[in-house]
């Protein structure tokens, strides 16, 4: 009866690796024990591995990030498209925040931001005289760095004193969850290197760039057809693209 196939394989393995190997030379035989064979085998493996690293390195993919002409790092990762009006609680927060801005309600605003000391009552009062109302809030959101936080681009119609037409304005927020289940606007984001870098990266996402362009194009066209709006932009040194 023939031996089982796997027994034959095992016996050959034993002959090659667990027994001395006989090397015949002229007039005598040399036996190499398994330990020496193992050392030689590992030595050859390490040598081949080192050669692979040395030879293969020049052909390896360069993992260094691409750098733009302005020195900023260009992310190679696919960006996350924004969501439009996906979170009613975000829209509600933005509406309440902008309403508090137009009424210069420092008490309400102080509960909605990380650092209330950044508000200047005199500036709020002057702005109140220029911007009478915000309406038609349109929120575009992207995830923030932590769970439950969002980068928000709010596009709204803006009622300006003495101007009949209502141009668009775009407001950026970094919203974080608060202890009451709502949100707080992180108005210190620009002083936090990690958040600031992240928001600058988001600003370069194609959909965000397109959103800025659409708002600018809309306002440029509106200013062409409304002298009062054009005068307002000139008074606050806003440069629109009239090409």
Q: What is the pLDDT of residues 71-92, one digit of tens each?
A: 444 454 589 999 999 999 999 9
Can you give the pLDDT at residue 16? Answer: 45
Can you give the pLDDT at residue 237? Answer: 76
Q: What are phi and psi of 176, to 5 degrees?
A: -125, 145
Spatial neighbors of 193 by CB under 8 A, at least 6 apart, are none
Domain identity same for 97 and 15: no
Domain identity same for 178 and 92: yes
Domain identity same for 50 and 88: no
Pseudo-torsion of CA 80, 84, 90, 91, nearest 10°?
Answer: 160
Can you give the pLDDT at residue 55? Answer: 55
Residues of the chain with pLDDT under 70: 1-77, 238-243
Number of domains composing the chain: 2
Can you give the pLDDT at residue 81? Answer: 96
Question: Which domain range does residue 150 map to?
Answer: 83-235
Domain identity same for 187 and 113: yes
Per-residue burial over 60-90, b = 16 or more CB atoms within 10 Å of its CB, e = otherwise: eeeeeeeeeeeeeeeeeeeeeebeeeeeeeb
Q: What are phi and psi of 157, to 5 degrees?
A: -75, 140
Q: Does residue 123 lie in a domain region?
A: yes
Domain identity same for 111 and 197: yes
Q: Does residue 143 lie in a domain region?
A: yes
Can you give the pLDDT at residue 138? Answer: 97
* Cα distance between residue 108 and residue 96, in whole Å: 9
Can you give the pLDDT at residue 235? Answer: 87
- Ordered DSSP codes for 143-190: E-SSTT-EEEEEEEEEEETT-SS--EEEEEEEEEE-TTSSEEE-TTGG
Q: Is 5 helix (H, G, I), strand (E, B) or coil?
A: helix
Can you give the pLDDT at residue 15? Answer: 47
Can you give the pLDDT at residue 23? Answer: 52
Can you give the pLDDT at residue 114? Answer: 95
Calculate the alpha carbon distances from 140 to 16, 121, 161 in Å.
Answer: 68, 29, 27
Domain identity same for 120 and 42: no
* Cα distance between residue 36 and residue 103, in whole Å: 87
Domain identity same for 219 and 105: yes
Domain identity same for 50 and 90: no
Spatial neighbors of 188 by CB under 8 A, at least 6 apart, are 114, 115, 118
From the list 150, 172, 162, 147, the residue with the least C-alpha distance to 226 is 162
* Cα distance between residue 42 and residue 36, in whole Å: 10
> What pTM value is reported for the model?
0.67
């Amino acid at each position: 009866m023939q031996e089982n196939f796997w027994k034959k394989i095992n016996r050959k393995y034993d002959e090659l690796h667990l027994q001395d190997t006989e090397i015949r030379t002229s007039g005598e035989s040399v036996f190499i024990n398994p330990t020496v064979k193992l050392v030689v085998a590992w030595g050859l493996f390490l040598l081949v591995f080192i050669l692979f690293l040395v030879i293969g390195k020049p052909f390896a993919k360069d993992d260094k990030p691409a750098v733009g002409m302005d020195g900023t790092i260009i992310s190679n990762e696919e960006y996350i498209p924004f969501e439009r009006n996906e979170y009613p609680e975000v829209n509600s927060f933005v509406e309440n925040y902008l309403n508090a801005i137009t009424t210069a309600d420092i008490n309400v605003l102080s509960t909605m931001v990380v650092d209330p000391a950044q508000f200047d009552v005199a500036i709020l009062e002057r702005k109140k005289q220029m911007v009478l109302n915000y309406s038609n809030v349109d929120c575009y959101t992207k995830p923030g760095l932590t769970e439950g936080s969002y980068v928000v681009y709010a596009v709204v119609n803006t009622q300006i004193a003495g101007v009949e037409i209502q141009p668009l304005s775009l407001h950026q927020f970094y919203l974080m969850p608060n202890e009451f289940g709502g949100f707080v606007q992180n108005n210190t984001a620009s002083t936090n290197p990690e958040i600031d870098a992240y928001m600058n990266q988001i600003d370069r996402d194609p959909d965000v760039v397109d959103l800025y362009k659409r708002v600018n194009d809309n306002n440029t066209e509106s200013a062409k057809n409304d002298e009062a709006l054009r005068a307002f932009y000139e008074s606050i040194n806003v440069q629109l693209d009239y090409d």
